[in-house]
Structure 1
């Protein structure tokens, strides 16, 4: 099987697997226990926090490990809102966000919050001027994703952060797709809270992190004493965290080199499908774009059929975010960039990873040409 769905998940690296096993055997103590075994595990946890904070240009005390990006989004936003109720009940966001946040906004509206959804252009980029105009006295939080998970458009988070600093508004940023692929500076971008996930960078599933700036007021969702600075209760997953940090370290070290390779793969893909431009349209921003994510819409065939045909030929792709698979509604990202519901259903995403080669892209393009001829004959 040719795997072209790395934006959905990545395989665990050998280094991450080795560290997981070693820590599970040698450092199995509860990090809250006061005996030596617990202290060793606690020291390892603090080392992991220090490393992650350094990659974000943040503070160790701001790092909180979670079960993944969805929990980090949910807990981050809720904790900020509960800690800043006096500031107002207005939230600004976009329809480009991950489903974990889109679903949360619906619930918060029922609880009395007013949600403003910023429009985007046809390439998925939001306007800083439009954001500024949307801010009012009751605006407490802006939540804008760094990199879109379906079309790869990169938002100007540093410009957004500077604006929100001047307006004294909190900023939550979903960095699940960008972490390990683009440099993230929480200070330069004035980020109040940030979410990342291990399994996007060749670490284990079920592990992630939430960064909340130590200077920001927040309040835990949980009404019990926690082992993690009252953010979330429960025993810390030390082996998973150590494995995550091991995988992330390699991703950070190879980030610039891999980005350059992804740019070459992206350009190769763009050239290869050019002769099918009346059948396939490339989505996402032309310059502000993460090159390992390639969003495609088709002229006259549904994305689900394209995905099934690719699977038949031994190629794994997706029809969008894995968290939305099986839902009847079309992608909110595609609707946000101006697609009709019917057009949004003609979307697929391919995404590159460490093992992606030009041969894999060639095989994908061959399959697209078969589809093109199949539907040309039908017409």
Structure 2
């Protein structure tokens, strides 16, 4: 099997597997227990919190461990809105957000919150000029995904945060795709809250983290909750958290090397597509104005639905995607793709290829051969 869907999930790395195995055997105590086993788990949890804070340039008291990126998104947004003054009932998110944010929006609307979904500019960017017309006196929070999971397009959050903070508006960012792949510093970016996930950086599934900058107003979604300083309920998964931190440290230490490799693979893949005249075109045209995650290649296969292309690749032992795995099963155009100018028909033709640490040129050649076969079959069908 050739796996080219690393933006959806990654295998656990050896560093994470080792930590996970050892701690599940030797440090399985409940971190809230007062005996020595609990104390050991609590120490590991605090140590992990410090190391995670170091990786994002934050403070350890702002780190809250969760079950993943979706829960981080949902708890952060709700907790901040709960903690803001009653008149701050308006919040904003970009049209490029993860599926979980759209689900959350429906629930918050029923609770009396008003949402504005902001469309990007023609370059796919959320800029000051894009945001300003939508900011109100009662706006309390803006959420802008750091990089879109279908396109890899990175937003310049540092350019947005001063505009929002001078108006007393909080800034949250879903950094699930960027964490471990590009340098993140919450102080430089100016974000008040950040969502990250373990299984995107070769850690275990079911683990993530939320960062809330100390001093950011918030009130728990779950009253009287004791775990994670009241942020979320449930016994804390200390072995999983330690494994997440180990994987994240491995990725952050090697990120420059991996991004160089991904850039080379991306350039090679695009060149082969052009050489073979395969009818793929890219949702994000790279230029000097845009920063992208090199390991995510989002494109449209003209003449085929993306789901069909994905299934044909799967039949040949190659795993690719038709977009965010969290939206799988929803056979409808992606809001993010439509926001970037794709028609409904084009959005259904979307496929995503994403590279990982072990992806090779030979693997990409297999994919190119499959896409070439589909191209020739399409040409034969049209010539009849």
The CA distance in 1 between the partners of 2:153 and 2:89, in whole Å, is 28
Task: Give the aligned partner of residue 368 of structure 1.
Answer: 371
Q: Structure 1 residue 167: deviation in Å? A: 2.0
Distance 1:256 1:75 in 2: 31
Matched, 1:317 2:320: yes
What CA distance in whole angstroms lies between the structure 2 residues aligned with 1:117 and 1:11? 34
**Structure-2 residue corresponding to 1:345:** 348
Deviation at 1:87, TM superposition (A): 4.8
Task: Look up the match of 1:274.
Answer: 274
Q: Residue in 2 aligned with 1:330?
A: 333
- The CA deviation at 1:329 is 1.8
Structure 2 unaligned regions, length at least 5? none
- Contact persistence 1:299–1:346 (CA under 8 A): yes
Residues 99-138 of structure 1 correspond to what in structure 2 (within 5 A)? 99-138=99-138
Alignment partner for residue 298 of structure 1, among 285, 297, 301? 301
Partner of 1:196: 196
* Deviation, structure 1 residue 123: 4.5
Preserved CA contact (<8 Å) 1:95 1:102: no
Q: Is the 8 A contact 1:125 1:285 kept in 2?
A: no
**Alpha-carbon distance in structure 2 between the residues aligned to 1:362 and 1:276:** 11
Contact 1:93–1:144 (8 Å) recurs in 2? yes
Q: Tell me how far apart the structure 1 counterparts of residues 225 and 308 of structure 2 sit (CA, whole Å).
A: 50
* Cα drift, residue 285 of structure 1: 4.7
* 2:236 aligned partner: 236
Return the alpha-carbon distance in structure 2 between the equivalents of residues 303 and 43 of structure 1. Answer: 48
- After superposition, the CA RMSD in angstroms is 1.3
| CA apart distance, 1:8 | 0.3
CA contact (8 A) 2:299 2:351 kept: yes
CA distance in 2 between counterparts of 1:132 and 1:124 reads 16
Residues 224 and 233, structure 1, Cα contact 8 Å, conserved in 2: no
In the alignment, does 2:26 pair up with 1:53?
A: no
Question: How far off is 1:320 after superposition?
Answer: 0.4
Equivalence map 1:132-147=2 (5 Å): 132-147=132-147
C-alpha distance in 2 between matches for 1:36 and 1:347: 53
Distance in 1 separating the partners of 2:266 and 2:278: 19
Do residues 209 (structure 1) and 209 (structure 2) align? yes
Query: C-alpha distance in 1, partners of 2:123/2:106?
Result: 25
1:247-286 equivalences in 2 (<5 Å):
247-275=247-275, 279-286=279-286
Count how many residue pairs are aligned between Structure 1 and Structure 2: 379
1:277 is displaced (CA, Å) by 5.4
CA pair 285-66 structure 1, distance change in 2 beyond 3 A: farther
Shift of 1:108: 1.6
CA offsets 1:81-110 (integer angstroms, 9 cap, x no match): 000043511111122100100111122223
- Runs of 4+ residues over 4 Å off in structure 1: none
1:272-293 superposed Cα distances (whole Å, 9 cap, x missing partner):
1113557110122513111000
**CA shift for structure 1 position 15:** 1.5
SS at match of 1:242: helix
**Per-residue CA shift, 1:64-95, capped at 9, x if unaligned?**
00000000000010000000043511111122
Moved more, 281-290 or 344-353: 281-290
Aligned partners of 1:5 and 1:351 also within 8 Å: yes
Task: Measure the CA separation in 1 of the matches of 2:313 and 2:28.
Answer: 43
Give the distance between the partners of 2:381 and 2:153, measured in 1 at CA. Answer: 34
Deviation at 1:269, TM superposition (A): 1.2
How far, CA to CA, are the matches of 2:85 and 2:353 in structure 1?
Answer: 41
Match of 1:185 in 2: 185
Give the corresponding residue for 2:18.
18
User: Per-residue displacement from partner, 1:281-312 (whole Å, max 9, x unpaired)?
Assistant: 01225131110000010211100110011111
Q: Does 1:307 align with 2:310?
A: yes
Taking structure 1 as the reference length, what is the TM-score of the superposition? 0.97
Give 1:330 shift.
Answer: 1.4
Contact 2:10 2:199 in 1 (8 A): yes
- SS of 1:205 mapped into structure 2: coil
Q: What is the CA distance between 1:124 and its match in structure 2? A: 2.6
- 1:6 is matched with 6
Q: In structure 2, what is the equivalent of residue 152 of structure 1?
A: 152
SS in 1 for 2:154: coil
